[in-house]
């Protein structure tokens, strides 16, 4: 079983032992990066125990996903490069580019998780309390809160799809699904074989999030 993620002008594929990234550069050439996976449970076996491994696997997947996304973004620099902040420059001077980069990615993952919890769970709960001014029914409040979760999630995806860079990421989402389908079918990974596969994959993380929010 393998998984993947859409990137800017490319995809990341991840198997049990290796991870591969392919990005189409502005000149049309392909940049390929293949590396062995280093799982945290291999270094600390206790983190592979049931009820514990899911949290660390999720955080590890997010870290790898953000790292791959930043790798693909490096091939498409912004027209106007921003000057690094004093804090960023201080970290680079003290720790070096590699360690500072790992800290930035970790902060991005932590902020991403915090934003997801705040946007998709805390905000609907807060807005749902407004129903109490109209009725004391817990059923009505729960229904309103649930509808708000779904509306916010769909609106978030719609907003992201209108951003130039994220629109390119979404454009490769189906290509990632097709590639995984082709691999799992045991077919050679050729363009012709991949094109025949369906765009929607049952293990899609975005679909899974929608199901979780809908069921909750």
The pLDDT tens digits of the residues spanning 141-181 come to: 888 888 888 888 889 888 888 887 788 888 888 888 898 88
Would you state the pLDDT for residue 66? 85
Quick one: angle between helices 86-95 and 97-117, nearest 10? 130
Angle of CA points 31, 33, 37, to nearest 5° = 160
Asked if 23 and 8 touch (Cβ cutoff 8 Å), the reply is yes
Put simply, whether the predicted model's pTM sits higher than 0.75 gets the answer no
Strongest mean pLDDT among 23-32, 67-76, 166-175: 23-32
Enumerate residues 6+ apart whose C-beta is below 8 A from 202.
none
Cα–Cα dist 66/7, whole Å: 10
Would you state the pLDDT for residue 138? 84
Residue 75 has pLDDT above 60, yes or no: yes
């Amino acid at each position: 079983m393998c998984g993947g993620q859409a990137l800017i002008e490319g995809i990341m594929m991840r198997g049990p032992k290796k991870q591969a990234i392919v990005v189409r550069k502005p000149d049309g050439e392909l940049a390929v990066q293949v590396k062995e996976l280093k799982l945290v449970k291999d270094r600390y076996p206790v983190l592979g125990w049931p009820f514990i491994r899911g949290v660390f696997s999720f955080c590890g997947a997010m870290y790898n996903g953000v790292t791959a996304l930043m790798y693909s973004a490096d091939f498409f620099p912004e027209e106007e490069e921003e000057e690094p902040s004093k804090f960023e420059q201080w970290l680079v001077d003290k720790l070096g580019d590699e360690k500072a980069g790992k800290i930035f990615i970790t902060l991005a993952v932590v902020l991403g998780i915090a934003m997801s919890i705040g946007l998709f769970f805390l905000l609907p709960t807060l807005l749902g309390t407004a129903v109490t001014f109209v009725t004391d029914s817990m059923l009505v409040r729960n229904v309103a809160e649930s509808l708000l979760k779904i509306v916010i999630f769909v609106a978030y995806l719609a907003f992201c799809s209108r951003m130039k860079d994220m629109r390119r990421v979404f454009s490769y989402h189906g290509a990632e699904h097709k590639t995984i389908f082709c691999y799992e079918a045991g077919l050679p990974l050729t363009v012709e074989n991949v094109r025949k596969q369906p765009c929607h994959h049952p293990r899609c993380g975005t679909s899974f999030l929608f199901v979780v929010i809908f069921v909750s």
